[in-house]
Amino acid sequence: MLPHRKTPETVMARLVMKFGGTSVATVERIRNVARHVEREVKAGHDVAVVVSAMAGKTNELVGWVKEASPLYDAAEYDVVVASGEQVTSGLLALVLKDMGIPARSWQGWQIPIRTSDAHGSARIDGVDGDGLAAGFARGEVAVVSGFQGVHAPSGRIATLGRGGSDTSAVAIAAAIGAERCDIYTDVDGVYTTDPRIVTKAKRLDRVAFEEMLEMASLGAKVLQVRSVELAMVHKVRTYVRSSFDDPASPQAGTLICDEEEIVEQQIVTGIAYSKDEAQITLRRVADKPGVAAAIFGPLADANINVDMIIQVVSDDTTTTDITFTVPTADFDRARTILERARDQISYASLQGATDVVKVSAIGIGMRSHAGVAAKAFRALADKGINIRAITTSEIKFSVLIDAAYTELAVRTLHSLYGLDKA
């Protein structure tokens, strides 16, 4: 849907740089961002900078919205909240011009970034890169308000939801055929696992799109899932790097790219974990056709995502035990729905657990290596860790375990797949 114009002669030098709320929290911080931009301009890039609202501003605006109307209208919410990015884009353009760097700010409706009308969590339908390109031709840095677009038929402002600025940045990179999309963040890249749990965790130089998508989906919080999906579809090389670097001597980050760009592929690239899972077990469900539909149909109708599913024959052979996971936020709702549907499903009892964690290993190398998961199951069993459920896909596997064993399991897998080494 997004136009992906690539004319290598003219666009190889285009770069998108994205800075989040803490990087633009004050005018002084914005000045630091401008120095990063200055470096890339001097290196010969045509630069589009995507900015978030100053840290704290979005919360202030959302607070007013809720005070004005607890059950607020989403379109008006967008009008109020999108003003935060508007302020930052103007201020960064001002600072750049003050430093002698030609620049102009762009709001979502000016580019335009066309979106759906799902106000508050709109989807990007397309980005017109022509206006930005004309600005580059005039030698201008384009300073773009992240997180926002316009629903063209109504002409109304629409925001993209939490983390939407990453998605804005990738969509703009695709539209202008940028060589790279640099996401400046409060960490210096993507790690083999959470460094707070495993001190030996290493920054990865390169991660394949597919791997990053799994990592983001499985709990790594560096990038929003949507922005990675978009980067993968449009093959936007996305570079996660630190905004706290000295602009004069930036450090290396992590490049998220096509797997063809990754010379030495690891079997397992990273270990992720997510505490945002809750387990539900239905005991002695009648083992008859249509029972899965009776259980999962009502949950799907209520927009509850079911993730891991495991079915075990129970003591007698006419019933089974069915275990599955739902997002923790939907746990109570799911339980209520299943209790109401007890007669249709026919089960003996419902057991729930929220003190569980999903630990996952991700790596495109799994495609060509058998027995990767089996090795993990053995290693976890050796440590006395009970596996409640398992899911696997082509490039990852996940196990559901007691939350108390989170750190032990992550460390065990990190060592097992050789990620502790330099």
Pick the stretch among 71-79, 196-204, 375-383, 389-397 that binds a copy of itself (CB under 8 A). Answer: 71-79
User: 102 or 290: whose CB is closer to a copy of itself?
Assistant: 102
Residue window 387-416: x/- pattern of binding to a copy of itself, with contact defined by CB under 8 A: ------------------------------
Q: In what order do the strands lie in the sheet with 156-159?
A: 124-127, 113-115, 148-151, 156-159
Residue window 139-178: x/- pattern of binding to a copy of itself, with contact defined by CB under 8 A: ----------------xxx---------------------
Give the DSSP letter of residue 328.
G
Q: Which three-class secondary structure state does DSSP give residue 385?
A: coil
**CA–CA separation, 223 vs 408, rounded Å?**
25
* 105 belongs to the binding site for a copy of itself (CB under 8 A): yes
* 73 belongs to the binding site for a copy of itself (CB under 8 A): yes
DSSP β-ladder status, 254-257 and 238-242? antiparallel
DSSP β-ladder status, 180-185 and 14-19? parallel
* 130 belongs to the binding site for a copy of itself (CB under 8 A): no
Pick the stretch among 66-74, 167-175, 375-383, 407-415 that binds a copy of itself (CB under 8 A). Answer: 66-74
User: 105 or 398: whose CB is closer to a copy of itself?
Assistant: 105
Give Cβ neighbours of residue 198 (< 8 Å, ≥ 6 apart).
192, 271, 410, 411, 414, 420
Handedness of CA 49, 52, 57, 60 (dihedral sign): positive
Q: Which two tokens stand for residue 399?
A: 């196990």
Shortest CB 46 distance to a copy of itself, Å: 20
Q: Pick the binder of a copy of itself from 13, 62, 87, 304 (CB under 8 A).
A: 87
DSSP β-ladder status, 389-393 and 396-402? antiparallel
* 110 belongs to the binding site for a copy of itself (CB under 8 A): yes
Q: Amino acid identity, residue 409?
A: A
Pick the stretch among 94-102, 205-213, 268-276, 378-386 that binds a copy of itself (CB under 8 A). Answer: 94-102
User: 159 or 406: whose CB is closer to a copy of itself?
Assistant: 159
Beta partners for residue 208, in sequence order: 257
* 30 belongs to the binding site for a copy of itself (CB under 8 A): yes
Give Cβ neighbours of residue 60 (< 8 Å, ≥ 6 apart).
none
Binding residues for a copy of itself, total number by CB under 8 A: 40
Shortest CB 16 distance to a copy of itself, Å: 20
Pick the stretch among 70-78, 229-237, 272-280, 335-343 that binds a copy of itself (CB under 8 A). Answer: 70-78
Shortest CB 86 distance to a copy of itself, Å: 5
Q: Which two tokens stand for residue 126?
A: 């397309």
CB 185 within 8 A of CB 240: yes
Q: Pick the binder of a copy of itself from 80, 286, 353, 408 (CB under 8 A).
A: 80
Shortest CB 22 distance to a copy of itself, Å: 17
Q: Give me Rg for the CA atoms of the chain.
A: 24
Count of C-beta atoms within a 10 Å radius of residue 121: 16
* 90 belongs to the binding site for a copy of itself (CB under 8 A): yes
* 52 belongs to the binding site for a copy of itself (CB under 8 A): no
How far is CA 20 from its chain centroid?
A: 14
* 19 belongs to the binding site for a copy of itself (CB under 8 A): no
The structure tokens 């109708």 sit at 301
* 59 belongs to the binding site for a copy of itself (CB under 8 A): no
Count of C-beta atoms within a 10 Å radius of residue 363: 25
**Binding residues for a copy of itself (CB under 8 A):** 27, 30-31, 61, 64-65, 67-73, 75-80, 82-84, 86-87, 89-91, 93-95, 97-98, 104-105, 107, 109-110, 155-157
